[in-house]
Each structure stands twice: as structure tokens, then as C-alpha cells.
Amino acid sequence: MRAVVQRVSEASVTVENKIISSMRTGLLVLLGIEEADTEEDIEWLCNKIVNLRIFNDDNGVMNRSLLDVNGDAILVSQFTLYASTKKGNRPSYIKAAKPDVAIALYEKSVTVFENKLGKNVGTGAFGADMKVLLLNDGPVTIIIDTKNRE
């Protein structure tokens, strides 16, 4: 799994001119899923994200987690995170999981994330043409890959 984690002051997801998710302070997470991903990847990634200390403490130091600040989150499935640009100019998405696998893993990720955060999170609409609006705070943007745990 790959995640682009963005600390935001606000974010929303719109589908067909209707806002389906919106939030204030928290994290917007773009989530890419590949065929080889497992429930172990989900557990590790969700735990890592809710505990990332990327929110400022009283001294302006990034020392607080999403849990610490009682922040919100939106998880958006994004297969393009597995784009391969090695050959030519048209990206290949061969590594991205097919919908029958990806939907189940995405839904499980949302459930696990909600359980770890202790509240509901917003989502995108799998396979839909979404408009994602965000106000990146910092900006703070972190990329996490469960197959490359650095």
C-alpha cells in the first residue's frame, strides 16, 4: 500500500457536484492499493498514520499525532499512486490492484482506520470522478509505502 498523507486545515471530496466528505483540521490520505497488499499492510499503515507526530505542540514543534489533536481524516482511494513511468510518457497502472481486490482492501482500511482513530472518517467514492479540495497546512506531506518501511 502507498499513502500520501497531507496535514490539512480543511479538505473535502465532491462527486457529481455534491460534497460527500468534508473536514477541518486533520489528515487527507490518498491511498493506493496493489494486488500483493494484505491485512497486515492495512494494520501497519493505519497504525502508522494515526500515530504520526506531525501536528504542532504548544512550542510549535511537530510532536502531536492525529489522535493527540482529536483530528479528522478523509481516506481517498487513488490507483494512480502505483503509476509506472519507466517506459514512454503514458503511465502504466499494472501494479495497481483490480477493483474486485482493491475495493475490499480499501473498505477494510477505512474500518481499521476508524477503529484506531475512534471515530468515523470521510471517504471518497471508489472509481468515481472525484474533486478533492484541500488546504495543506505547513505544507506537510508524507509518503508511506508498506513495502518500503523506512
Domains held by the chain: number = 1
Query: Within a domain: residue 150?
Result: no
Residue 76's domain spans which residues?
2-145
Identity at 70, one-letter amino acid code: N
71: three-class secondary structure by DSSP = coil
- 35 lies in some domain: yes
- By CB neighbour count within 10 A (0-12 exposed, 13-18 middle, 19+ buried), where does 123 fall? buried
CATH of the domain at 139: 3.50.80.10
Secondary structure of residue 148 in the 3-state scheme: coil
In a domain, 87, yes or no: yes
pLDDT in tens, the chain (150 residues): 999 999 999 999 999 999 999 999 999 999 999 999 999 999 999 999 999 999 999 999 999 999 999 999 999 999 999 999 998 899 999 899 999 999 999 999 999 999 999 999 999 999 899 999 999 999 999 999 999 887
Residue 48 forms part of a structural domain: yes
- CB-count exposure of residue 22 (10 Å: 0-12, 13-18, 19+): middle
Q: Angle at Cα 123 formed by Cα 120 and Cα 124, nearest 5°?
A: 170
121 inside domain: yes
Give the active site residues.
80
Q: What is the pTM of this model?
A: 0.94
Q: What is the pLDDT of residue 150?
A: 72
